[in-house]
């Protein structure tokens, strides 16, 4: 069955009661795997704290773990959202302008590994790792770093969904589909043309999350057009198909974000109903 999920919801800061309400409205909209940690976390494309400062002080992750605890206590199935280490380094500010940012990986990776293992200890099955720089033209050294980074992070005993958005994977497509993780999210709003190539090259064990709903456009999407693509994807992927917004709704009005969750749910439900009818007919 195709799974309905969401990449992120509008920010609430430190308001725990509002976070709880936002989780509930997403669940009521039909989202099966709720993004957690997206409320307080920085947007990866925006500058944040100095990346060459003490990483333990920057990436303490305590707020993330607290939100996971709160959401699971409320009975929600959660998908923590974190910015991937390479996108974090790419977009972050550095006090030393001459710094080779990749040199900081050895300081960051133990913290990411610790965080992922702690999430696994909290009962988390899936984590969403945002790596939007995979849609950019990257230097070869950064491409090489991706395989190293995720060969290390894949050891943590939980499933990892790499989320890309804001454009096509283009020259990074082969890299992205072959990273040692359990799933890949692609943006089909900004880059619908990549669908067939991604589908053809995705390893047979991986989940493919298709971002077909435009989270940033208040207007309803073209459901019939999306359904034809999703029917095709489900025929190939079966339960490995996830349906989602193309990107997070961090800066959208809450009402719009809820409507987009409902769009995702309607699409996933239609795909699943069609698949059930096909099974009954074949029987």
Model confidence at 38, pLDDT cuts 50, 70, 90, reads: confident
Sign for the CA dihedral angle at 43, 265, 16, 37 comes to negative
Asked whether residue 117 carries a pLDDT value surpassing 80, the answer given is yes
Least confident of 40-49, 127-136, 177-186, 242-251: 40-49
> What pLDDT is recorded for position 49?
58
Q: Which tens digit of pLDDT belongs to each residue from 73-110?
A: 999 999 999 999 999 999 887 777 777 889 989 989 99
pLDDT averaged over every residue in the chain: 90
Asked whether residue 152 carries a pLDDT value surpassing 50, the answer given is yes
Asked whether residue 193 carries a pLDDT value surpassing 80, the answer given is yes
CA distance 106 to 100: 12
> What pLDDT is recorded for position 42?
46
| Residue 137 CB-density burial (10 A; 0-12 exposed, 13-18 middle, 19+ buried) | exposed
When divided into structural domains, the chain yields a total of 1
Asked whether residue 14 carries a pLDDT value surpassing 70, the answer given is yes
User: Mean per-residue pLDDT for 138-166?
Assistant: 96
pTM of the model: 0.93
User: Mean per-residue pLDDT for 192-216?
Assistant: 96
> What pLDDT is recorded for position 47?
46
**Which residues span the domain enclosing 72?**
3-282
Sheet of 78-83: strands edge to edge? Answer: 3-4, 241-245, 207-213, 183-187, 159-163, 126-130, 78-83, 34-36
């Amino acid at each position: 069955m195709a799974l309905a999920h969401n990449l992120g919801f509008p920010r609430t800061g430190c308001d725990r009661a509002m976070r709880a309400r936002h989780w509930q409205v997403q669940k009521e909209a039909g989202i099966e795997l709720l993004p957690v940690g997206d409320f307080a976390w920085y947007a990866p494309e925006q500058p944040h704290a100095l990346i060459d400062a003490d990483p333990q002080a920057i990436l303490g992750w305590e707020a993330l773990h607290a939100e996971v605890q709160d959401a699971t206590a409320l009975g929600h199935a959660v998908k923590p959202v974190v910015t991937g280490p390479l996108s974090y380094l790419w977009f972050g500010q550095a006090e030393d302008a001459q710094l080779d940012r990749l040199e900081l990986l050895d300081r960051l990776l133990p913290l990411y590994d610790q965080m992922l293992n702690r999430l696994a200890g909290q009962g988390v099955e899936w984590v969403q790792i945002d790596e939007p720089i995979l849609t950019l033209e990257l230097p070869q050294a950064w491409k090489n770093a991706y395989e190293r980074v995720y060969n290390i992070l894949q050891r943590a005993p939980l499933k990892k969904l790499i989320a890309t958005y804001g454009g096509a994977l283009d020259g990074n497509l082969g890299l992205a589909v072959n990273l040692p993780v359990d799933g890949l999210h692609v943006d089909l709003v900004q880059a619908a043309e990549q669908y067939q190539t991604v589908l053809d090259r995705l390893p047979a064990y991986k989940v493919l999350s298709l971002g077909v709903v435009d989270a940033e456009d208040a207007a309803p999407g073209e459901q019939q057009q999306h359904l034809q693509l999703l029917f095709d994807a489900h025929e190939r992927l079966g339960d490995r198909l996830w349906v989602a917004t193309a990107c997070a709704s961090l800066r959208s009005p809450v009402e719009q974000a809820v409507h987009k969750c409902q769009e995702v749910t309607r699409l996933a439900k239609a795909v699943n109903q069609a698949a059930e009818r096909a099974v009954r007919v074949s029987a």
